[in-house]
Amino acid sequence: MHTKLRGTVRAPRRVRQAVLCGLLLVLPFPLLFVSLFLGRVRLAPGDVVPALLGRGEPLIRSLVLQVRLPRATAAALVGANLAVAGAAFQGIFHNPLVESRILGVSAGAGLGAALALVLRAGPAGIQILAFGGGLAAAGLAAFLGAAFGGGLLVLVLSGILVNSFFSALLGLVKYFADPYVQLPGITFWLMGGLPAVLWRDVVPLAIMSAVGLGLLFLLSWRLNLLSLSEAEAKALGLPVRRLRFLVIGLGTLLTAAAVSVSGVVGWVGLIVPHAARALVGPDHLFLIPASAGLGAGVLLLLDNVARTAFATEIPLDILTGLLGVPVFFFLFMRQIQRGGGWR
Amino acid sequence: MSLAARGLTYAYVPGRPVLARVSLAVEPGEILFLLGPNGSGKTTLLECLGGLRLPQEGTVLLDGTPVPQLSPKDRAKKIAYVPQFSEAVFAFTVEDLVLFGRAPHLGPLSRPGREDREKARKALALVGLEGLATRPIHTLSGGERRLALIARALAQEAPYLLLDEPDAHLDPANQHRVLSLVRALAREGLGILATTHNPNAALVYGGRVLLLRAGQVLGQGDPAAVLAPEALAQAYGIPFRIVGDGAGPKAVLPRLDENLT
């Protein structure tokens, strides 16, 4: 990627954007390293570094390699996925308030997870059914949208309908769930969080993240074009609808893969792309990697707060809401004060 | 060599055509101004010609080939469409916007390279905006934005240019800037179709006119012949008078009804 960047860098503005983008991409790595030290058992560098090299005391080694490293990796991937899917969706829907949940992915994943909990399908079952439910919901919204012309507004409307319908189904499952064990389980899952994440959960997430993030990065210039009006993009020879559904498919894959591991985590997919755009500009060549880095960094940070701030864990969705809303308000007010052209 | 329409009929609602059997042709090096009242089908006609809408009847021929047979990419290499406004929601720079014109020349996963940037820069220079290349689009004036959109179409390197009301919402100086650029481009050999509400555009800048009313062609050809007071009155529903000298008409103006003043 580095040589590719060098070819397009000319103006100082683009140099600055490329440097910032690089910094944001590197950001998650020190955070990931730091999170290996944090937790109920504080570790020193003398414990962590040997453990990473496969040496040292077995208990600490398994704590670092089997508990903290998979969890931190999952946090980084979930953050990157939600942020990049949000960035891509904001572009193709021409709307700053859109995130990847607009087509009902989270509602579908929530229903899948709730069903898995009621059916006692185990952790793997939760992940699989949540993933499937997320894909099914967004797939249904996209299908309805396409069946009624495939325009943007129809898609958004289909997403709203699917969201409501799956929320109602989720309510039904909750109503019939055992109120002492299953109902709290569903409620906690819907609040999001990464306790008890194992490599077994991280590997499929990592594979799907690599596919989705990689392809969206390769499509970055086309994403720029898709943020124009449909008529303009079509006049420039773009197969607009086909490309739009491809991007929706990739964004949904990323979101469903993330949500099936972390539960519902809001706001990251909405705010991080805005912050990234303010830093590196609207060109998706920079925006996609910058969103990935910033999203991964933010979620690592929040997950570290979630698991260390209090004696018990705070659900992630609550943290992202408490911190995300004021940040979003600040970003938006600043944009309005600057006048026009949100970025 | 021409961009031609043969018997185009288009209806948004079945049974209520907004275009009825419209035929026309533009050749390289000439401008055809599409005139007609609001709702007469000008923009629809332009969109049919650009391949953005598929007419229910009739065909659009590009150098003899039906346009629907071309891939979107091949069509965009030949026909460039300039909308009144760009709806870019993000703060792209002028240079970015013009580079978008290179899309039909690039593969699905590739980005514009050095050569494309050179072409974008040339297009910007041609419309006189080279100094604004790194400015975000939304900081430009209306006239500058219109020129930037024309530059994007030029970067597309298409031999035919479709302009949707290039002179709308602009002050006289900017109207003149845009239309004299259009005239210069036609002289360079581009075939240009432009919708306009200014019947004098063709008289001032040269070119043929096509007068449309309720989807029907009232006349097309030399402006001196087509822009007769009767035809204009029929099209717009108000009386007109022609101002001219011995050499021919110079302008058409609305005629005031003395009884009402």
A173 contacts A109 by C-beta, under 8 angstroms: no
Which comes out higher in pLDDT, residue A343 or A204?
A: A204
pLDDT tens string A31-82: 999 999 998 888 888 889 889 998 888 999 999 999 999 999 999 999 999 9
Report the SS3 class of residue A313.
Answer: coil
Residue B178: closest CA among B159, B163, B160, B188 = B163
How far, in Å, CA of A151 to CA of A158, rounded? 11
Tokens matching residue B138: 């939304």
- Check: CB of residue B211 under 8 Å from CB of residue B42: no
- Cβ contacts of A210 within 8 Å, gap of 6 or more: none
Rounded-to-integer distance, Cα A29 and Cα B145, Å: 43
Q: What is the pLDDT of residue A2?
A: 43
Question: In whole angstroms, what is the distance from residue A126 CA to residue A300 CA?
Answer: 23
Kindly tell me if the per-residue pLDDT of A341 is higher than 90.
no
* CB B179, CB B167: distance < 8 Å: yes
Are A224 and B50 inside 8 Å of each other by CB? no
Tell me if B177 sits within 8 A of B147, measured CB to CB.
yes
B111, B137, B140: best to mutate for the A interface, most A CBs within 10 A: B111
A234 to B136: CB separation less than 8 angstroms, yes or no: no
Q: What does the pLDDT read at residue A343?
A: 44
> Which of B72, B96, B113 is nearest residue A7 as measured by Cβ atoms?
B113
Out of B52, B112, B136, the one facing A341 most closely (by C-beta) is B136
Residue B95's identity, in one-letter code, is: E
CB atoms A218 and B77 under 8 Å = no
| Whole-complex ipTM | 0.91
Cβ–Cβ of A236/B134 closer than 8 Å? no
Give chain B positions within 8 Å (CB) of A238: 72, 103
CB A234 within 8 A of CB B72: yes
Q: Where are the domains of chain A?
A: 2-338
Contact between B101 and B155 under an 8 Å Cβ cutoff? The reply is: yes
Is residue B164 within 8 angstroms of chain A, CB to CB?
Answer: no
Q: A249: distance to nearest CA of chain B, Å?
A: 17
> What's the rounded Cα separation, in Å, for the pair A187 and B113?
51
**pLDDT at B22 (0 to 100):** 96
Q: How far A341 CA lies from chain B's nearest CA (Å)? A: 5
Look up residue A137 and give its amino acid: A
Return the H-helix or E-strand segment holding B79.
strand B79-82
pLDDT bracket for residue A333 (50, 70, 90): confident
Residue B91 is nearest to which of A95, A238, A343, comparing CB atoms?
A343
Structure tokens at A295: 């999203």
Per-residue pLDDT, A11? 56
CATH of domain A2-338: 1.10.3470.10
Determine whether the interchain pair A91/B76 forms a contact, defined as Cβ–Cβ distance below 8 Å. Answer: no
Give pTM, 2 decimals: 0.90
Instruction: Give how far Cα A216 sits from Cα of A102, A124, A292, Å.
Output: 18, 27, 11
The Cα–Cα gap between B59 and B9 comes to 9
pLDDT digits (tens, 9 = 90+) for A21-31: 999 999 999 99
Contact A236 B156 (CB under 8 A): yes
A interface test, pick of B44, B52, B90 with most A CB neighbours within 10 Å: B90
The residue written with tokens 């920079």 in the block is A286
Regions of chain B where pLDDT drops below 70: 258-261
CB nearest B86 (choices: A232, A238, A283)? A232
Question: Whole-angstrom Cα distance, residue B29 to residue B238?
Answer: 33
